Structure 1
Amino acid sequence: MAASALTRIKLTKRAVDALMATDKDWVIFDAELPGFGLKITPSGRKVFLVQYRYPPGRAGRIRRYTIGAYGESLTPDQARSIAVQVKGKLAQGIDPVTQRELLHAEALRAAQEKKRTIATSVEAIATMFIERHAKPRLRSWREYERMLRDYVLPEWGTRPITEIQRSEVTALLDAIEERRSAALADHVLAVIRKLFNWHAARDERFHSPLVTGMARTSITARARDRVLSDGEIKALWRALQQIPYPFGPFVQILLLTAQRRDEVAHMQWREIDGDLWTIPRQRYKNGRANTVPLTEEVQSILAALPRSGEFVFSTTGRTAISGFSKAKAATDRASAVTGWRLHDLRRTARSLMSRAGVSGEIAERVLGHTIPGVAGVYDRHDYVPAKRDALRKLAAEITRITA
């Protein structure tokens, strides 16, 4: 059906289907419901509308309220029903077009506010902090991520970071101290402080609610000097021999290599070449690669381990070992050795090397500590033979204690 002289017809499905496009837009109105019409574009698109004057009367401005495009989701009968509602609003003195514009503007403001809220939520800021700051700069970034995931985000994740009050931080730390320990509360506080300070440096509108004096323990109280006695080493070693992969052998290698927990936990098979294990600088604390000679005792333990993936120690075959707290608690029960941490094994190994006659400088190089002064700046020798000798003496001392 061409446009020709048509001005009004009853807009039924058959009639709408028969209407044909022309080289310009044209509108045909319904013969029964005044103002209800259909616009046909040159492309053939058909759009239902309501045309009216507002304010009512000849002096009012002609306005068009678009109902929607004709199709499976909008039939002529449905469009007619909507047109009746639009005309009902006119009868109440409401301009439907203006009302729609206001509702759209309000929805847009709400969407923008929601977007801003999400972008400034603690979870969003924490994600950026891990990706942009912790991962590139902190060897212990996984621990930061875990602390945030386990203790901070469940409480504040969806909240804007600007809403977090000092009293809320205190309440969170109180809960952690009551459920776990004051030391853990301080660890969480340290992560929150670093997160807040990082964000404050990026956004002048944010001011950290943290102040000095919020820690639960003193620096002196947090200092560790725990070294396992020979009796504890013997009891622990015997228990480790009965504890299955991955935790049992993992702790044995911690003591035999004197390396840090995460460095051993993320050991990969490709990093081992013969009797040398090279820890890449990307995951070593001082930012330099460290070559660790592997004694016969370490090689014997490694030879008995399964090779189910890239990581030497893994519970899934795809990721590095985790869940240290639960496994260590089981070890404490099996060995009856308590009050120690995995990091204490490193201090214990350092003490055993001194007892075995290893010089302080070489023992420090085994541990991967930064050597102070000119020697630390200019001496790039890897000291592999000396470190191999030191670790052999360490292994011999452990064997003597545990035999």
Structure 2
Amino acid sequence: MPTVSITQALRADTPRKVSLPEGADTLILSDTSLRGFRLRVNRTGCAWAFYGRVKGGKQRYITIGDAGVMPAKAARIRAEELRSLFRQGIDPVAEEETRKAQEVTVAKIADEYLRLFEAGGLSKQRKIPRPDSIKSEKKDARRAIGLLGADTPISSITPVTIRKAHLKLADLAPSSRKKIHGVIHRMLRLAVTLGLLESNPADAVEAPLGSIQRERFLSPEEIKAVWETCDQMGRYGRLVRFLIAMPVRTSIARELHYSNVDLGKQLIRVGADARGNKSRRPWALPLNDIAFGVVGEGEGYVFDGDRGPMVSLSSAAKAKLDHLSGVTGWQLHDLRRTASTLTGEEVETIDEDAFDLWLMHVRSGIKGTYQSSARVAAMRTAARQWGQVLGDIIGHETADNVVRLAHG
């Protein structure tokens, strides 16, 4: 519906006499003597207002008060004050925004950011984050607060402030530097959304480089050396052997429970909320014979620890494994790349999509939109193919590589 504008003298009795024209949902009455002084009427009531701007500035609409309560004389006096400010080049709206922003500190905006993040209420969040993601975000937010200063007014943050903060991150890993910058950027974006900043100062600052994409994978000789050394590594060695044979993410393997092992179908089930499940969808992942042999039967956690319910992934244990095996410069996560690479090198026909699914990589594009099948059978073939290659490397005879040799 249209807005109707009329110019007339605004008096004390104007709010009582005015009514909306037929077909209109808003009526604006502009005073004949005081430019910018107006009465705005809609279906819910009417209010005194002032429209003005400083030279070269934005047009501002300022509500003065409820016309049903505030006398016209008082509203006119306030309108004259506002007109005087605009004529002096003072934008009262901008002044109020600055005042409010000065009252909001980095710590306060961080608290509001984390509250919204935990609830999944930020503009670019699609899902409520998992507990481990919330814990990580809080850790990075605390670091950001320390860098910017908890009591620093959010309105005083500039690109220079952020660049100086970057200098204090020099001792951290590249991935940590990038994550902390990301939190700062998102906190300031929230400040813009709340009207505390005109623009995000982090937009003018180049983000730190993240970690260089790793390319390391273990050679067959290295895999054999690590596998054999695992005999000397107790519970930790058993977990590493499983990660070699079944290249899931480390956190998924470590927290694997026998209740999620289907012995009959020779597969494991990973819940949508499992730590390390980035896709947030449930998975049924087939086990090859070697991985199945590592799992065996039992109760509780598959990889239980000496001093806790789950085996410890200490850096000391990994260092000992490196020392005893003679294989260095690798991470447990590299075993995923190793399985994919060595299978691709040794097997002539490989279903790359199925292998990626077995690694819990979500399909993208058209396939991700329209292909909803779990493809367990295809993943079982991928698992068996890696089992065949691994069996040849470590000298482990399985039903799968016996079949392959028989057909060879």
Pick the TM interval, shorter chain: 0.5 to 0.7
Q: Secondary structure at the match of 2:380?
A: helix
Contact 1:295 1:395 in 2 (8 A): yes
Distance 1:119 1:181 in 2: 24
Contact 2:141 2:183 in 1 (8 A): no
Distance 1:146 1:395 in 2: 41
1:244-393 alignment, distance < 5 Å: 244-245=234-235, 247-274=236-263, 275-283=266-274, 284-303=277-296, 307=300, 312=303, 317=308, 327-354=317-344, 355-356=346-347, 357-393=349-385
Amino acid at match of 2:202: L
Aligned to 2:167: 174
Residue 236 of structure 1 pairs with residue 253 of structure 2: no
| Number of aligned residues | 284
Deviation readout 1:90-119 (Å, 9 max, x if unpaired): xxxxxxxxxxxxxxxxxxxxxxxxx97697
Structure having the higher Rg: 1
Distance 1:118 1:185 in 2: 19
Aligned to 2:21: none
Aligned to 1:120: 108
Distance 1:124 1:136 in 2: 16
Deviation readout 1:119-152 (Å, 9 max, x if unpaired): 7163564355245368724697167347527844
CA 1:117 to 1:188, structure 2 compared with 1: closer, same or farther past 3 Å? closer
Q: Secondary structure at the match of 2:234?
A: coil
Distance 1:151 1:315 in 2: 33
CA 1:256 to 1:204, structure 2 compared with 1: closer, same or farther past 3 Å? farther
Structure 2 gap ranges (5+): 1-102, 396-408
Q: Secondary structure at the match of 1:210?
A: helix
Residue 397 of structure 1 pairs with residue 389 of structure 2: yes
> Alignment RMSD, CA only?
4.2
Distance 2:188 2:244 in 1: 36
Contact 1:353 1:394 in 2 (8 A): yes
Aligned to 2:194: 203
Following TM superposition, by how much is the alpha carbon of 1:292 offset from its aligned partner in structure 2, in angstroms?
0.4
Distance 2:268 2:359 in 1: 14
CA 1:143 to 1:253, structure 2 compared with 1: closer, same or farther past 3 Å? farther
Contact 1:235 1:335 in 2 (8 A): yes
Deviation readout 1:359-391 (Å, 9 max, x if unpaired): 212212212323345443333332223322321
Amino acid at match of 1:122: A
Distance 2:182 2:312 in 1: 22
TM-score for both structures, normalised by structure 2: 0.55
CA 1:127 to 1:399, structure 2 compared with 1: closer, same or farther past 3 Å? farther
Distance 1:398 1:384 in 2: 21
Distance 2:213 2:240 in 1: 22
Moved more, 148-157 or 230-239: 148-157
Q: Secondary structure at the match of 2:216?
A: coil
Distance 1:212 1:322 in 2: 43
Following TM superposition, by how much is the alpha carbon of 1:351 offset from its aligned partner in structure 2, in angstroms?
1.4
Structure 1 gap ranges (5+): 1-114
CA 1:146 to 1:305, structure 2 compared with 1: closer, same or farther past 3 Å? farther
Distance 1:266 1:168 in 2: 42
CA 1:242 to 1:373, structure 2 compared with 1: closer, same or farther past 3 Å? same
CA 1:372 to 1:184, structure 2 compared with 1: closer, same or farther past 3 Å? closer
Contact 2:148 2:165 in 1 (8 A): no
Contact 2:279 2:362 in 1 (8 A): yes
**Structure ranking higher in helix proportion:** 1
Distance 2:195 2:290 in 1: 56
Q: Secondary structure at the match of 2:120?
A: helix
Distance 1:398 1:267 in 2: 22
Deviation readout 1:249-301 (Å, 9 max, x if unpaired): 33333332222233334433332222221212234323322110123322332
Amino acid at match of 1:233: I
1:76-87 alignment, distance < 5 Å: none
Query: How much identity, in percent, do the aligned residues show?
Result: 23
Deviation readout 1:163-217 (Å, 9 max, x if unpaired): 666555445543443x3433442343344434544x3475231554424554443
Distance 1:174 1:224 in 2: 25
CA 1:126 to 1:379, structure 2 compared with 1: closer, same or farther past 3 Å? closer
Following TM superposition, by how much is the alpha carbon of 1:154 offset from its aligned partner in structure 2, in angstroms?
5.9
Residue 132 of structure 1 pairs with residue 120 of structure 2: yes
